[in-house]
Structure 1
Amino acid sequence: MTPRVFVVDDHAMVRTGVRAELGTDVTMVGEAADVPTAIEGIRATRPDVVLLDVHLPGGDGRAVLETLRAELPEVKWLALSVSDAAEDVIAVIRAGARGYVTKTISGPDLLDAVRRVADGDVVFSPRLAGFVLDAFAAGTPVAPEPEEEATDPGLDLLSAREREVMQLLARGYTYREIGSRLFISVKTVESHASNVLRKLQLSNRNELTRWAATNRLL
């Protein structure tokens, strides 16, 4: 199903660029440049995904999210910002966003991120995943310290290539980025990713990231 998308950004050129990059692969249901207009527009359109800038006139993106999250639990939130500051990333994720990507992202990768968030996955630009993992570890009771080597028996089921793909997936890289780094096709990455989740008995990338962090594989 084509995701229904609402864009919140105070720069008209950014909104125009996002519409152009996503094209007909999504249904653009609205846009807004400030907090009050965003809240009103999202309430009216109830999109599948909101692309949300972190810094807005009259408040910040988190204010939009916190106002509407309980009221519209079906809406997914993906931060799209020029900022890669840890405090911005952590604040918007704690408020309920399902991901955070920077405006350096390519059009195809942005479309992939929107689709994945719409499907219930979590998405981060690669270097930002560590911020979230650090915050999660600092604010959440942790299991007893694992031994130096990972102890989950599922790890032994992975081939060397599957381990490479697993680590990059857990760190937030897209299939396209993994393929470029490992010099393999996107379809091959998808196949490895499916095998990794099946062998580890995990359902999605969010679970994989937590599993990898627990086993000191990031």
Structure 2
Amino acid sequence: MTMLALAFSPDFCVVAADRAVGNLNAAGLSTTATKNTKIKHFNEEPMPFIATAAGFAEAVELVPDIVKYNSIKSPSDLIGLAEVLAKSMKKALEEDLWSQTHTTSCTLALTADNQFFVHSLYLNDEEVLFSGFEPKKSVIPAGFCAPEHRAQKEHWQEMLTEAIMSNEQKLTPQERLNRVLEVMSNAFEECASLNQFVSKDFDYCVITKHDRKISLNQTPTNSIFE
């Protein structure tokens, strides 16, 4: 299990994933003491992008090798990457294992014409959760999945959306990023308290339109964040 959070605004986006690693076998899912970074990011033009996966997090470890032989230059390439991850997961695991839990894959890219494009699907059945350009509403596609936690999920999605978007307070991008990270910290902590397969510790990537660069676990160095 993993918690994923994606926060969107017109000038920068943030993708976060918790660090907990579970063990999936014939007996079911069990916790481990292992922690891992489940985000891969690629700064190559013409379309820098971020990829992550929850459920079968090992799927994201395949991305660097896939990208070596399949350039990611357009949104259709990104969708194709997600389809390859789905097929790879199904080859790596027996069906009675991968069918036990949904694996959510999320990819976020900055296109050649400087638009954010996001694509998310369940690798298990390749059901698309959401896909498109310039998303407005921040989302938590994995985490708070139990029906009784829907209210918490909706609350934190709204908090993320409000934190990252420009508003009448005229907050700087750095101030908005600080607010996003504070909301994420609180959301991950609450989810971890409800689900033993989610950790309160998380990694995050920030991607900005200003310099078209992705930063991992740090504030971007471009001028809009100075």
Q: Which has the higher contact order (CA 8 A, sep 6+)?
A: 2
Higher strand proportion:
2
Fold shared per TM-score above 0.5: no
Q: Whose radius of gyration is greater, 1 or 2?
A: 1
TM-score (normalizing by structure 2): 0.30
TM-score (normalizing by structure 1): 0.30
